[in-house]
Structures are given as C-alpha cells and as structure tokens.
Amino acid sequence: MKQALITGATSGIGRATALRLAREGYAITATGRRAERLEALRREIEAAGGHCTTLCFDVRSEEEVRRALEPIETIDLLVNNAGLAAGLEHIDCGDTRDWDAMIDTNVKGLLYVTRVVSAKMVAAGHGHIFNIGSIAGTEPYENGAVYCASKHAVHAISQAMRADLLAAGIKVTEIRPGMVETEFSVVRFHGDRAAADRVYEGVEPLTGDDIAEAIAWAAQLPAHMNVNDMVLMPAQQAGAYYTCRKK
C-alpha cells in the first residue's frame, strides 16, 4: 500500500487532502499540533475503510520533526502543507512574533520535514513531494511582506529541490492557490472571524477539497509525467490584486 504523509492535516487543505488520498488508496500519516483533531480525522478515515496513523508535532522544532519522522520506513508521497499567515499590516507596524511564526513554519518547518523525508525517498529511489506555495509566492502585496516572502521562499525551494532530486527520480510539484476558504484567514486575523469573513465577501472561494482534487490528479499521473507548478484560483480572482466581488 502506498504511504502518504501530510503536514497540517488538522484543518483546511491538509485535512481535505488526507481524506482524498485515503480514498485513492493511500495509507495516510496525518500530522499537526492538535491531537484531538488528528484523532477525529483518523477515526473518519478508518470508518470509511482507509488506513491512518497520526503524529502530533510542531514543524518548527527540528528535534520534534526528526523524532516523529525518522522511524517511518517508507513515504511515497509527501504534502508539505503546514503553514500560516499571521497579521496583515504595513511593515512598520508588523509584530515580529508573527514574522517568526511564518518564517519558522512556512520555510524552516517545510525544510526540516523535507530533509528527513527526501533522504528516505532518495534511498528508496522514488517519491513525490508536493509543496503548498501560494500566489503570494510570485505576487507580493501590500501588508503581506513577510507572508509573501515566506511563500517566495517556498517557490524558490520547490524549483531548486526539483533539480536536486531529479536524478533520484523524485517528483516535486508546487501547488500555488489563490483564495481558499479554510481556517487560514481566522488564523491570519488572530481569531477575528468577522475580519476573516470579509476576505470572502461576494466571492465563491476555492475549498480544501478543490486543492485536494488537484493534488490527487497530479499524484496519479504516469511515471514519465510531472506537474511542476500549478496555480489555482477561484473563477472570480485573477491574481493577488484582482478580485471581482458580486454586490
């Protein structure tokens, strides 16, 4: 049975991807910091006849990442999804704790997980790594300097690791969504649900299931074919600066 490891599977895109890949026949290793949610996901997958193991750790801690992931024997597919935006303000007003959280999670956490898993894939001679980037990875916008910088880093890392892992036969796919309604905006606005809801006003955003659909499609392509980079947006969005809202 093929093994898929998904970081940030307690919510949003990660949770939807875990459920979808389980339906595609993967045994799932679901990770995140919220143990109760991981347990609920495990029960849901197993009730539907799938297989799920959970690992509760913080991707910001290299030690926790190594302790959790080193013992895993085989990982065929990795989804580097755990991430967040924290805050939305001009650079002169930013909270440096938010900046640390974004850089430590979105960039360093992704690197810590990739370091362990890619070595296993190289030893096995196969594997597929999905990095969840963002349109913020190529379109920097006002109030988003550090989040955009973190996703620019994911974009650069994805391209470079694709080259690094080419000879080992490991595919690297970057998925770069626009607006997806998850807990993302509630987290960005530090729990202010009204501010989060305004982000999606007049728009039908993408859902976690939409992103999971793209990952499941790219994962089942023939061995000779890879999607390097996939940009997905709601039909009402044309980029970070252009959204057509219905009144």
User: Which one, of 104, 121, 120, lies nearest residue 112 by Cα?
Assistant: 104
Please report whether residue 240 would count as binding ligand 8X3 according to CB under 6 A.
Answer: yes
Q: Is the dihedral of CA 216, 208, 39, 187 positive or negative?
A: positive
Using the contact rule CB under 6 A, the part of the chain among 19-27, 78-86, 113-121, 155-163 near ligand NDP is 78-86
In the block, residue with structure tokens 């960039």: 107
Annotated catalytic residue within 147, 200, 241, 242 = 147
Please report whether residue 198 would count as binding ligand NDP according to CB under 6 A.
Answer: no
Task: Name the minimum Å distance from CB 215 to ligand 8X3.
Answer: 16
Which 41-60 residues touch ligand NDP, going by CB under 6 A? Answer: 58-60
* Residue 28 · residue 21 · CB < 8 Å: yes
**243 Cβ contact list (under 8 Å, min separation 6):** 179, 203, 236, 237
Q: Which partner in ligand 8X3, ligand NDP, none is near 127 (CB below 5 to 8 A by kind)? A: none
Is there a catalytic annotation at residue 147?
Answer: yes
Task: Name the minimum Å distance from CB 35 to ligand NDP.
Answer: 8
Q: How many CB atoms lie within 10 A of CB 167?
A: 8
Identity of the residue, 112 or 189, whose beta carbon is nearer to ligand 8X3 in the bound complex: 189
Please report whether residue 196 would count as binding ligand NDP according to CB under 6 A.
Answer: no
Q: Which partner in ligand NDP, ligand 8X3, none is near 240 (CB below 5 to 8 A by kind)? A: ligand 8X3
* Sequence-separated contacts (24+) of 63-69 with Cβ below 8 Å: 65/109, 65/112, 65/113, 65/116, 66/112, 66/116, 68/31, 69/5, 69/113, 69/116, 69/117
Please report whether residue 237 would count as binding ligand NDP according to CB under 6 A.
Answer: no
| Orientation of helix 145-164 relative to helix 110-124, angle to 10° | 10
Task: Name the minimum Å distance from CB 121 to ligand NDP.
Answer: 21
Catalytic residues: 147
Q: Where along the sequence are the contacts to ligand 8X3 (CB under 6 A)? A: 134-136, 178, 240
